Amino acid sequence: MINLAGRDILNGWGKFAFTGVGLGLLIGVTLSMAGIYRGMVEDATVLIDGSGADLWVVQQGTLGPYAEPSSLRDDVVRSIAGLPGVAGAGNVAYLTMQVSHGTGEARVMLVGFEHGRPGEPDHLVAGRPVTRGHYEAVADEKSGLKVGERVRIRRHDYEVVGLTRRMVSASGDPMLFVPLKDAQEVQFLKDNDTLVNERARTAANPAFNRPGVPGLLEAVQASQAQSRQVNSVLVRLAPGADADTVAENIRRWKRLQAYTKAQMEEILVAKLIATSSRQIAMFLVILSVVSAAIVAFIIYTLTVNKVREIAVLKLIGATNATIGGMILQQALGLGLIGFVVGRIVAGLWAPIFPKYVLLIPGDAARGFAAVMVICALASVVAIRAALKVDPAEAIGG
């Protein structure tokens, strides 16, 4: 039996191809939306894996350090490092900020870490690790910074000595790693006018400027000019240690919150990017409905334009299954062209997106199945119209 759908497509391949490309662009957008969601999840996973930590210790009652602000004293790390099951612990400070460099500005997540402890970037794609105590940085390559480039952070210039890859915040900002002391200074550094103003206020406070207590005022003023706070302590467990047990010990004895890797993933994926994922899901639904409407309209139009031929086919003995099959195959053919075009364009424009777009084969397979189902459903209207065609229409009168 002749494949009527295939012959019709070949006969009007130009119209069909253009329609397929148009549909493909829409499918490409849909696949990209799914890729953006996957990219967000992947960024969150990489953020967790890239930190090298097994536990995150944060301020009690917070979801920090990524989802909520958290503040700890930087000496807490010593008491945590002494707990059973802990192989190492390191302070980290996080803050998102705008930094300037030779060719422009970049929005980054500044990460303060302690050399040789959890939180230090361990995979470099260029350059070397930070070895000096101050004013050196390792940047994620997505920031656009190059090795040897100088970047201005508040009052100081930092030299980029190494580059990492896929180290971004949950919101997609590239990370810039600097020594912890520098990050603390950046985080809590006050401008000169504020410092002068606060010193004057402190000096005017009789509680801090008591006659007969030498050195008290200077000590208070010194404490106001420096910060001993960090956002989190990252903990690496000893081999065989149970993460939940150690976390429970920290919660009970240190009056701090401790999250395991699984709990941190839950916070990032289910809480931090939950709204974004719902937003994307809405877009996917809308785009699917629009795609279905377009396919339905196109297939319906193609069918209506063939009413006389369908009447002749029915008159000469073609079954409803033959005619319905022809229309269904055309809808599926259109979907196939659209999917192929969509997958190609989604792959082509994914690197241009500012945020990571992850196109995974599973999503592509599900997308293909969805496109085929949508096209099949969209062809129902046209098939109904074709089946209503009276074969008598082929005969005049």
- The residue ranges that bind another protein (CB under 8 A) are 1-2, 4, 7-8, 10-12, 308-309, 312-319, 322, 390-392, 394-397
Tally the C-alpha atoms within 13 A of residue 209's C-alpha that lie toward its C-beta. Answer: 9
Residue 320 CB, shortest distance to another protein, in Å, is 9
Nearer to another protein by Cβ, of 308 and 366: the residue is: 308
Residue 327 CB, shortest distance to another protein, in Å, is 13
Q: What angle do CA 67, 69, 75 make, to 5 degrees?
A: 120
Residue 357 CB, shortest distance to another protein, in Å, is 40
Nearer to another protein by Cβ, of 194 and 319: the residue is: 319
Residue 281 CB, shortest distance to another protein, in Å, is 40
Nearer to another protein by Cβ, of 239 and 317: the residue is: 317
Nearer to another protein by Cβ, of 195 and 318: the residue is: 318
* Rama region for 237: left / alpha / beta (φ>0; ψ in -120 to 50; rest): beta
Nearer to another protein by Cβ, of 2 and 204: the residue is: 2
Residue 377 CB, shortest distance to another protein, in Å, is 25
Show the 3-state SS of the chain. CCCHHHHHHHHCHHHHHHHHHHHHHHHHHHHHHHHHHHHHHHHHHHHHHHCCCCEEEECCCCCCCCCCCCCEECCHHHHHHCCCCEEEEEEEEEEEEEEEECCEEEEEEEEEECCCCCCCCCCCCEECCCCCCCCEEEEEHHHCCCCCCEEEECCEEEEEEEEECCCECCCCCEEEEEEHHHHHHHHHCCCHHHHHHHHHHHHHCCCCCCCCCCCHHHHHHHHHCCCCEECEEEEEECCCCCHHHHHHHHHHHHCCEEEEHHHHHHHHHHHHCHHHHHHHHHHHHHHHHHHHHHHHHHHHHHHHCCHHHHHHHHHCCCCHHHHHHHHHHHHHHHHHHHHHHHHHHHHHHHHHCCCCCCCCHHHHHHHHHHHHHHHHHHHHHHHHHHHHCCHHHHCCC
Nearer to another protein by Cβ, of 131 and 319: the residue is: 319
Residue 335 CB, shortest distance to another protein, in Å, is 20
Cα 133 to Cα 152: distance, rounded to the nearest angstrom: 17
Nearer to another protein by Cβ, of 9 and 170: the residue is: 9
Residue 9 CB, shortest distance to another protein, in Å, is 8
Residue 310 CB, shortest distance to another protein, in Å, is 10
Residue 21 CB, shortest distance to another protein, in Å, is 21
Nearer to another protein by Cβ, of 361 and 396: the residue is: 396
Nearer to another protein by Cβ, of 87 and 395: the residue is: 395
